[in-house]
Amino acid sequence: MKMNSILSADDIIVGLKANSKKQVLQEMTNRMTASIDGLNARHVLDHLLERERLGCTSIGGGIAIPHTRCPFPDTIGNKPLTQLAILKEAIDFQSNDDQPVDIVFMLIAPDHLGGEHLTALALASRLLRDEARSDLLRGCETAEAVWSILNSAEISNAA
């Protein structure tokens, strides 16, 4: 699986302003669900917050990968929804390493989906855990620049 199979440049937010974990999740959920009929932003946010109560989805190094599974309308299909945000300022995410988070990759999967969402989560984790790559992402000013870094990373990792 490649990042461009689950994320597009349109799914990238650079300079997201938020003061808390809940506000980040809410803003990203609202943007993600805005154009999808039948997918209620509040319902998705509730699922994300419940997942966070089970354990923080920060993976360390200023990166979080909030994710959940929830009912999807039939019109969406079986593909997980994803979004990547580079925050304007890092926020407290209750991370195990106590580092504030400034890169957030969100994944929402249909509740009946098999292991595809786990593959997508593993891909995001692998790409974002690379410290040099995450530092480059933090320096980006546009979604296109982020997209370029993610795609060049896949080329070097494909070998």
Four-residue CA torsion sign, 11, 16, 21, 27: negative
d(CA 132, CA 79): 29
Whole-angstrom CA distances from 116 to 5, 44, 77, 119 are 11, 19, 13, 5
Q: Please write the tens of the pLDDT for every residue from 113-131.
A: 777 788 889 999 999 999 9
Phi, psi of 16, deg, nearest 5: -65, 130
- Mark whether 112 is an active-site residue: no
**pTM over 0.85, yes/no:** yes
Of 43, 67, 112, 117, catalytic? 67
Which residues of the chain form beta strands (DSSP E)?
12-16, 58-60, 63-64, 67-70, 81-91, 101-110
d(CA 27, CA 99): 21
Per-residue model confidence (pLDDT) at position 1: 66
Q: Please write the tens of the pLDDT for every residue from 101-115.
A: 999 999 999 888 777
Per-residue model confidence (pLDDT) at position 118: 86
Where b means 16+ CB within 10 Å and e means fewer, 101-133 reads bbbbbbbbbbeebeebbeebbebbeebbeeeeb
List the domains of the chain with CATH numbers.
3-158 (3.40.930.10)
Per-residue model confidence (pLDDT) at position 104: 98
Q: Which residues of the chain have pLDDT under 50?
A: 155-159
Q: Which of 38, 46, 59, 71 is nearest to 104 (CA)?
A: 59
- The residue with tokens 């890169």 is 103
